[in-house]
Amino acid sequence: MTWASWTTVGIHARPGTVRTVEAGVLDGDVTIHTTWSEEQAHVAVQYTGATDWFTMIGSPVPCFSEEDSRSFHQAVVEAVRGGEDAERKLQRLFER
């Protein structure tokens, strides 16, 4: 089985932007972690420095290569950093 993972620390999420399955909406200083295996990207988020991880709504998403998954991770990070458009951008990304 092939797998890969990426983590980006210290992302400022605006209120209402990052939606999770387990904890609802997170905002403030967050860390995003993506794990790719079996042609799916699993995206989790936590408050930076915390121990609990939460699944982002819409995860996992199909990603048929490691490169696609890395690009997806970066797109999620950039969307969260995207200011007022962040929620809309994330919604589009997870609807793939």
The Cα–Cα gap between 2 and 15 comes to 36
The Cα–Cα gap between 8 and 48 comes to 10
Give 82's Cβ-side CA count (13 Å radius). 19
Asked if the bond preceding 15 is cis, omega within 30° of 0, the reply is no
At 19-69, the pLDDT tens digits run 999 999 999 999 999 999 999 999 999 999 999 999 999 999 999 999 999
Nearest to 45 by CA among 6, 95, 88: 6
Q: How confident is the model at residue 86 (pLDDT cuts 50, 70, 90)?
A: confident
Find the angle CA(68)-CA(84)-CA(75) to the nearest 5 degrees. Answer: 5
Q: How confident is the model at residue 83 (pLDDT cuts 50, 70, 90)?
A: confident
Question: Whole-model pTM?
Answer: 0.93
